[in-house]
């Protein structure tokens, strides 16, 4: 007798059981299998050598946690049918299929804004790819799409997919902590899931789980500062984006760019914009085909070929990325003034000329690719947009920061900002 399910041995959650049927069919689609070739932490592996886990593992993990959460909720009296369970598990599995190479790093580099002015966001691409899968499967993803969109009549399902305590967040915090070795990111996922229930149509956490929730918020804050917004990760992000900007600028004039992977060439040639994600757009199908053909290896191969460019700036940026010869990220006490930025650009331009990377005429413009300023921002908890509710022992419901068992949650609402500048090390402050 054949098994009714397939097991995945996940180092984070243990054995994950995927029942045969809709969810397993989705796992086996090219769109989901592509996620094996997309790193979960983007360029985080340049800082944390073990952080080479993929979006595929994360999708499997989020789906596994969704199953555990649904089991807990059902045990506490919330009825749900098979279609709802399959739809919720499918939505958790597919929530990140819209990510491109190196996850967030190139999110706004692949597709420029179209006439509408809208910028590209991976959530829109995830939705478009789910809709195409639904058509291919004869409408069997209708429930998953409604849950993903938040239009389903039982909104607690959407909260499990997209909220401040969704399965996506619970998995990535635990998984990223595991693979980076950053112990501060370890969270009590099991405790949180076991204290979930549905109360008056929405997800709440029982009072005994309040401290675990507070720990998730604190862990997320620590993971952002120590991992996701690490100064070297910011520098690597900048070098890769600058490399793409130069490649696009030189497109059609540089022989080295003719060796770009075809799936990436589609985007550098600007044959489509963010507006083409819309289902009625002229290039919609071509865009989705090219996007699902694109992955991390395509980018790495292309950058290796770009090191052969006769354009010294493109070759230098490409080499720096491959060799991890990155710029220096320097934290600033306040956002830089225009005068500071101009001084950095002038010193960088002089350095480019001295290094033989640019001419005196071109150096001021080329310096823009070597100087980047920004502000790293984080709010660990946003009670205003979608609060986390704690079910007190007396049956009342209180927002987390007001719950007696979570005295520091209010402090986590405070928005933290850190200004910084990325510059070549010889000219860095």
Ramachandran class of 415: left when φ > 0, alpha when ψ lies in -120 to 50, beta otherwise: beta
Query: What gap in Å lies between CA 292 and CA 304, rounded to an integer?
Result: 22
| CATH numbers and ranges of domains, the chain | 5-106+119-229+380-413 (1.10.3210.10), 230-324 (1.20.1250.30), 327-379+418-429 (no CATH)
Report which of 27, 377, 112, 304 is spatially closest to residue 18, judged by C-alpha positions: 27
Give me the DSSP letters along 356-367: TSS-TTTHHHHG
pLDDT-based confidence at residue 365 (cuts at 50, 70, 90)? very high
pLDDT, average across residues 75-85: 96
Integer angstrom CA distances of residue 416 from 63, 88, 375, 411: 31, 33, 10, 11
Which pLDDT tens digit goes with each residue over 242-253? 999 999 999 999
Is the full-model pTM beyond 0.85?
yes
Per-residue pLDDT band at 19 (split at 50, 70, 90): confident
φ/ψ of residue 419, rounded to 5: -80, 150
Q: How confident is the model at residue 383 (pLDDT cuts 50, 70, 90)?
A: confident
Q: Which tens digit of pLDDT belongs to each residue from 45-75?
A: 999 999 999 999 999 999 999 999 999 999 9
Confidence (pLDDT) at 1: 45
In the sheet with 397-399, reading across from the earlier edge strand, the strands are 196-199, 202-206, 389-391, 397-399
Give the model confidence (pLDDT) of 155-181 as tens digits: 999 999 999 999 999 999 999 999 999
Q: Are 278 and 288 spatial neighbours (Cβ–Cβ below 8 Å)?
A: no
The region of weakest confidence among 103-107, 199-203, 405-409 is 405-409
Which DSSP state fits 227?
Answer: I
Residues 6+ apart with CB under 8 A from 158: 147, 148, 149, 150, 152
pLDDT mean over 209-219? 90
Q: Give the C-alpha separation, 107 to 124, whole Å.
A: 12
Q: What is the number of alpha carbons within 13 Å of residue 270 lying toward its C-beta?
A: 13
């Amino acid at each position: 007798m054949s098994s009714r399910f397939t097991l995945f041995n996940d180092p984070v959650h243990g054995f994950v059981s995927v029942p045969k049927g809709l969810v397993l069919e989705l796992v086996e689609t090219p769109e989901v299998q592509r996620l094996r070739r997309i790193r979960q932490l983007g360029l985080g592996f340049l800082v944390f050598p073990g952080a080479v886990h993929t979006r595929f593992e994360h999708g499997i993990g989020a789906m596994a946690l969704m199953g555990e959460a649904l089991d807990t909720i059902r045990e506490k009296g919330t009825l749900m049918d098979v279609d709802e369970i399959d739809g919720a598990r499918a939505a958790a599995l597919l929530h990140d299929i819209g990510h491109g190479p190196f996850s967030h790093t190139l999110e706004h580099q692949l597709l420029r804004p179209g006439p509408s002015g809208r910028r590209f966001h991976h959530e829109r691409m995830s939705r478009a790819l789910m809709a195409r899968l639904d058509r291919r499967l004869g409408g069997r993803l209708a429930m998953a799409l409604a849950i993903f969109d938040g239009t389903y009549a039982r909104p607690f399902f959407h909260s499990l997919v997209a909220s401040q305590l969704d399965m996506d967040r619970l998995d990535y915090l635990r998984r990223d902590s595991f693979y980076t070795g950053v112990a501060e990111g370890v969270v009590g996922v099991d405790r949180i899931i076991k204290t979930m229930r549905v109360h008056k149509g929405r997800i709440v956490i029982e009072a005994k789980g309040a401290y675990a929730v507070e720990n998730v918020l604190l862990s997320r804050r620590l993971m952002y500062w120590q991992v996701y917004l690490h100064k070297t990760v910011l520098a690597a992000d900048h070098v890769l984006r600058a490399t793409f900007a130069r490649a696009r600028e030189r497109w059609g004039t540089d022989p080295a760019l003719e060796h770009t992977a075809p799936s990436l060439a589609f985007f550098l040639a600007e044959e489509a914009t963010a507006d083409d994600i819309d289902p009625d757009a002229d290039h919609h199908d071509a865009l989705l085909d090219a996007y699902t053909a694109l992955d991390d290896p395509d980018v790495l191969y292309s950058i290796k070929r770009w090191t052969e460019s006769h354009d010294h700036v493109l070759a230098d940026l490409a080499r720096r990325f491959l060799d991890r010869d990155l710029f220096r990220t320097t934290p600033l006490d306040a956002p830089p003034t225009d005068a500071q930025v101009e001084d950095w650009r002038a010193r960088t331009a002089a350095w480019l000329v001295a290094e033989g990377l640019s001419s005196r005429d071109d150096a001021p413009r080329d310096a823009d690719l070597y100087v980047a300023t920004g502000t790293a921002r984080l709010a660990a908890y946003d009670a205003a947009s979608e609060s986390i509710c704690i079910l007190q022992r007396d049956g009342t419901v209180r927002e987390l920061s007001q719950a007696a068992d979570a005295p520091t949650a209010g402090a986590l609402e405070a928005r933290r900002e850190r200004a910084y500048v990325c510059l070549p090390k010889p000219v860095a402050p």
